[in-house]
Amino acid sequence: MERQRGVTLRFLAEPGDVNFGGKVNGGAVMKWMDQAGYTCAAGWTGSYCVTVYVGGLHFLGPIHVGEVVEIKSLVIRTGRTSLDIAVDVYAGDPKSTERRRTGYCVIVFVALDTDGRPSPVPKWIPGDELDRALEGYAGRLAELRKQMDGEMERSLGHK
């Protein structure tokens, strides 16, 4: 079976998605990111997956009601039972083909077996220079995450 490395979700931003300032709220965008990431992770692994970490989350600009939103998700690293998905958000006027990037993050998912235990994921092998750069980025984020976890444990006494 050929595995699909990337998934794009595409839909319109609706009035129910906006905050009091009239722009799409960050919580809605985070939900879409998680949904796109999950679709990608479940498609790659063929398993139910759960979110365990979100890193490098940036909101670059607002999204307006009525704009078409595209959430692109891509496998950029696989571990033993986890995988990292890069998620990029684009938006624009549906009457034009122009899109602007409005946010991005990397989400770590863990594949679970039917008993809810972490289960091995199919390996993804970088195919070119860009893939290797993305995999390196995911690795560096993981290092930063461990440093931050250590710092929080020292400073706040919990993880």
Ligand X SMILES: CC(C)(COP(=O)(O)OP(=O)(O)OC[C@H]1O[C@@H](n2cnc3c(N)ncnc32)[C@H](O)[C@@H]1OP(=O)(O)O)[C@@H](O)C(=O)NCCC(=O)NCCS
Residues binding ligand X (CB under 6 A): 50-53, 79-82, 108, 110, 118
Decide: 86 and 134 in contact? Cβ < 8 Å.
Answer: yes
Rounded to a whole number of angstroms, the minimum distance from the CB of residue 121 to ligand X is 7
- Residue 73 or 81 having the CB closest to ligand X: 81
Rounded to a whole number of angstroms, the minimum distance from the CB of residue 22 to ligand X is 30
Of the candidates 46, 47, 106, 101, the one whose C-alpha atom is nearest the C-alpha of residue 73 is: 106
**β pairing state of 82-92 and 100-112:** antiparallel
- Residue 91 or 142 having the CB closest to ligand X: 142
- Residue 93 or 113 having the CB closest to ligand X: 113
Rounded to a whole number of angstroms, the minimum distance from the CB of residue 17 to ligand X is 21
Rounded Cα–Cα distance for residues 112 and 42 (Å): 10
Rounded Cα–Cα distance for residues 124 and 69 (Å): 27
Rounded Cα–Cα distance for residues 23 and 122 (Å): 39
The set of residues, in sequence order, having a beta carbon less than 8 Å from that of 147 and lying 6+ positions away, is none
- Residue 67 or 84 having the CB closest to ligand X: 84
Decide: 124 and 79 in contact? Cβ < 8 Å.
Answer: no
Rounded to a whole number of angstroms, the minimum distance from the CB of residue 150 to ligand X is 13
Which residue number places its CB atom closest to ligand X? 79
Rounded to a whole number of angstroms, the minimum distance from the CB of residue 60 to ligand X is 24
- Residue 29 or 121 having the CB closest to ligand X: 121
